[in-house]
């Protein structure tokens, strides 16, 4: 039965990048891996949801339920999702036995990277037509995890170091 891992963290911290690197590495070792990218599933399975607290928790619940349906088919299911609230992360841990991996990165580094241009839009003046008012960690809540199974500081670790540490941890969970 496949193991579920939730990779939580702020936008741009490296959740999807790391999940895709893990996919490539473990598939090369003949493991079956599924990546559930929160950004992608926001456009499909969760397209009716907004960014309120309840919608964000429902988003996590739906992705967890979907991951659960994949357990028989895959060795590892990786959910890459901001999942900003303890309640949503705890629900995945309790209901689906999902291991919590906090992809942690300093907000100043994220703002400098700004790979999607989201932080720039969140810093626009109020009333600007392109302003983002609900960017997690900047002008919306992110509750730092208190019970992560693993923390990867991607402002200190490069992708290769993060990949090695994450894979060692994941294999140890088997």
pLDDT for res 93: 97
Where residue 115 falls among pLDDT bands split at 50, 70, 90? confident
| SS3 readout for the chain | CCEEEEEECCCCCCHHHHHHHHHHHHHHCCCCEEEEEHHHHCCCCCCCCCCCHHHHHHHHHHHHHHHHHCCCCCCEEEEECCCCCHHHHHHHHHHHCCEEEEEECCHHHHHHHCCCCHHHHHCCCCCCCCCCCCCECCCECCCCCCCCCEEEECCCCCHHHHHHHHHHHHHHCC
Mean pLDDT across the chain, nearest whole number? 95
Burial of 173 (0-12, 13-18, 19+ CB in 10 A): exposed
- Domain of 13 in residue numbering reads as 3-107+144-172
Q: Work out the average pLDDT over 69-87.
A: 98
Does 124 map to a domain? no
Does 115 map to a domain? no
Neighbours of 58 (CB within 10 A): 16
Kindly report, residue by residue over 121-173, the tens digit of the pLDDT: 999 999 999 999 889 998 899 999 999 999 999 999 999 999 999 999 999 99
The CATH number assigned to the domain holding 31 equals: 3.40.50.300
Does 40 map to a domain? yes
Does 50 map to a domain? yes
pLDDT for res 150: 98
Looking at the chain, the whole-number percentage of residues with pLDDT higher than 70 is 100
Strand order in the sheet with 150-153: 33-37, 76-80, 3-8, 99-104, 150-153
Does 69 map to a domain? yes
Contact 45, 62 (CB under 8 A): yes
Does 151 map to a domain? yes
Does 138 map to a domain? no
Q: How many structural domains are present in the chain? A: 1
Q: Work out the average pLDDT over 91-110.
A: 97
State how far the Cα of 15 lies from the Cα of 71, in Å rounded to an integer.
21
Q: For residue 58, what are the contacts with CB-CB under 8 A and spacing of at least 6?
A: 46, 49
Does 42 map to a domain? yes
């Amino acid at each position: 039965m496949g193991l579920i891992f939730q990779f939580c963290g702020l936008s741009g911290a490296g959740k999807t990048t790391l999940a895709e690197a893990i996919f490539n590495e473990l598939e090369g070792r003949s493991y079956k891996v599924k990546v559930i990218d929160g950004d992608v599933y926001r456009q499909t399975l969760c397209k009716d949801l907004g960014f309120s607290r309840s919608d964000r928790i429902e988003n996590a619940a739906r992705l967890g339920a979907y991951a659960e349906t994949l357990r028989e088919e895959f060795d590892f299911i990786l959910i890459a999702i901001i999942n900003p609230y303890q309640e949503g992360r705890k629900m995945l841990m309790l209901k689906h036995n999902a291991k919590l991996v906090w992809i942690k990165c300093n907000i100043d580094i994220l703002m400098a990277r700004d790979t999607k241009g989201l932080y720039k839009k969140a810093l626009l003046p109020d009333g600007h037509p392109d302003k983002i008012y609900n960017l997690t960690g900047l002008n919306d809540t992110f509750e730092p995890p208190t019970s992560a199974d693993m923390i990867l500081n991607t402002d200190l670790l490069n992708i290769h170091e993060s990949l090695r540490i994450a894979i060692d941890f994941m294999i140890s969970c088997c």
